[in-house]
Structure 1
Amino acid sequence: MEENKKELVDFVVTARKYKTTLTEKFKNRPVWHKPFPGDVISHLPGTIVELEVKEGDEVEAGQLLLIHQAMKMLNRVVAPVAGTVEKVNVQIGEQIPKDHLMIRINPK
């Protein structure tokens, strides 16, 4: 009878070493990457209601960029950094998915 062998991985917690198996869901998860500081990404699917900037505009950190309606709420999306708007990847009335790059700002 062939035994079902599972791959064990090591991990350390407070100086103690343990072994565990990894689930298929964990193995197939999307790989995380560090976002660009000037990227404005949607966290929820929704609709763009207002757009306050255009490509080439200078913005300050905290300045209103757009209004995004998600889950029946109007969300103010502000600039994470000061800089120049390099790309506006949305239009008023457009429905966008989660993790959509809405605006890219080239930081100062």
Structure 2
Amino acid sequence: MDDKKSELVDFPILSRKYKTLLTVKYANRKPYVSPNPNEIVSHIPGTIIKVKAKVGARLKEGDTVLVLEAMKMMNQVKMPFNGKIKEIQVAEGQKIPKGTVMIVIE
């Protein structure tokens, strides 16, 4: 372990502070990024079967935007709130991994 990672750091728990050593895994972890509410992101890997929305379309909360097939199930991806489709970043037949931005809403 190099000297930078082996020094004690403050670790607050509730109202108390403790001294601890950070593991290499913890020190090298991917930083948390707050999700963008205007992006519809895939939560599971799958294949885009049907894109029902068009760029510029105004849709209401609950309207189906696209159909994602995952593990032989057809998942209807719906609008989380009323809005206008700004970008569609996937195409029918495309295989996508978990965490892919599929739709951007204005």
Aligned length, in residue pairs: 103
Normalised by the size of structure 2, how large is the TM-score? 0.85
Give how far 1:18 is off: 1.2
Equivalent position of 2:71 in the other structure: 71
Partner residue in 1 for 2:52: 52
Is residue 84 of structure 1 aligned with residue 84 of structure 2?
Answer: yes
Mean CA deviation greater in 22-31 or 35-44: 22-31
* Structure 1 residue aligned with 2:100: 100
- Unaligned 5+ segments in structure 2 are none
TM-score by length of 1: 0.83
Percent identical = 42
Kindly report structure 1 stretches of 4+ aligned residues shifted beyond 4 Å: none
| CA shift for structure 1 position 48 | 0.6
Q: How far 1:92 moved relative to its partner?
A: 1.0
In structure 1, the gaps of 5 or more residues are none
RMSD: 1.7
1:23-80 per-residue CA deviation (whole Å, 9 max, x = no partner) reads 2222222222222221001112110112110101101122111111123322221112
